[in-house]
A = this chain, B = another copy of it.
Amino acid sequence: MVTAAILGCAGYTGQETLDRVLAHPELEPVALGSDSLAGEPAAALDPRLDGDLPAFTTNAAAAAAGADVLFLCLDGDEAAAFEPPPGTVVVDLSGAHRLVDADLALAWYGAAPGAWSYGLPELYAPVGSLIANPGCYATAALLALGPLAGEIDNVVVDAKSGVSGAGKTLRQSSHAGFVLENLSPYAVGAHRHAPEIAQQLGAPVCFVPHLLPVRRGLLATCYVQTSADVRELLEDAYAASPVVRVLPEGMTPELARVQSTDGAEVGVFTDGATGTAIVICALDNLGKGAAGQAVQNANVALGLDETAGLRLHGVLA
C-alpha cells in the first residue's frame, strides 16, 4: 500500500479527497490533518467515518507522518508557506503554485511559484513530485478550450458554480438566505482563475463567474472565434479518456449528471447567427475540479492506475 496524508481534511476538498482515498485500492490514509479537529476521532468530521481511521492530528503532524503522498487541502497562504518533505509526492489543491509567472503569482496569491508542475492529466501531465492541482473553473475552461489553444480569439468564459466552490468558511455570500433563489455574479472580470486559464491557453481570457443555488457542480460556457474544426479537435483530445466525455452533436452538458462524480462532459455548438464556437464543460467543482483531479494527479505521479479511487461509474438519477 501507498500511504497518504491529508492536510486540511475538515474542509470540503479535504473531505472529498479522503472520500477518494478511502475508495482507492492502493492508498492507505495514515494521517488526517486538521488544526481545528486535532485530537478528535475521524467520526467527529462525519458519523459515516468509522474507528479504523486514525484520529485527527495537527496539519504539521500530518505533514511529518512520513506518508508517501501528501494532499494539501489548505488555504493558499498556508500552502504557499508549506515546506514539502523531500522525496514525497505533494498535490497542492490550493492556488498557491498554479501561476508560473512570478509577478502574477505574487499579485494573485502572494506566493513565489517555485518548482511545481501544473497537473491536468488529460492536457498537461504533471512532471515530478510537486504538483499544482488546477482551479475548478480553470479545469472546466481548459477542458473546453485547451485542445483549441493557438487557434482561438476573443475568448469569453461565462462560468457558474455551486456554493461549495467557496469553501466551508462562513461568509455572507455563502449564507443560504443569500444563495437560495438567487444567481450572483462576482469578481466580474477580475477573478484569479482568469490568469491561470490564460497561462495554459497562451491567450488572454475574459472570465466571469456566477454563484449558483446548488451545493456542488460547475458549468462553463465558453465562446471563441476560430476557424478550426472544434468538434474534431475535442473528440481527438478525449477519445481515449475515461474521465472526459465529448457529447454527441446537439446534446448539452448538464451539471446534475456530473454531480458527485470525477468525470466531465463537453458539448460543442456553433452559434447560428454569428458563427461563434460555443464549448460547454460541466464537472463537479469538488470532483474533477478538485479532489478527483488531485487523486488522479497523485496516481500519475505514483505510477498507479490513473483513475484508481475516482468516482466515474454509475448512473445515479
Contact = CB atoms under 8 A, between A and B. Distances in A.
Contact of A276 (B168, B175, B189, B190): B189
Interface residues of A, number: 90
A253 B158 CA distance: 16
A278 B163 contact: no
B177 A164 contact: yes
A71 to B, nearest CB: 14
A178 B167 CA distance: 11
A160 B46 CA distance: 23
A239 to B, nearest CB: 14
Contacts of A221: 158, 185, 208, 210
A94 B76 CA distance: 41
A188 B46 contact: no
A124 interface: no
For A213, A282, A316, the residue with the greatest tally of chain B CB atoms inside 10 Å of its CB is: A316
Interface stretch (A227-235, A265-273, A296-304): A265-273
A162 B183 CA distance: 10
Interface stretch (A16-24, A81-89, A111-119): A16-24
B183 A260 contact: no
A2 interface: no
A60 interface: no
Contacts of A207: 271, 273
A179 to B, nearest CB: 4
Contacts of A168: 172, 175, 177
Top 7 closest pairs, chain A to chain B, by CB: A189-B271, A182-B256, A176-B179, A170-B170, A158-B158, A176-B176, A206-B271
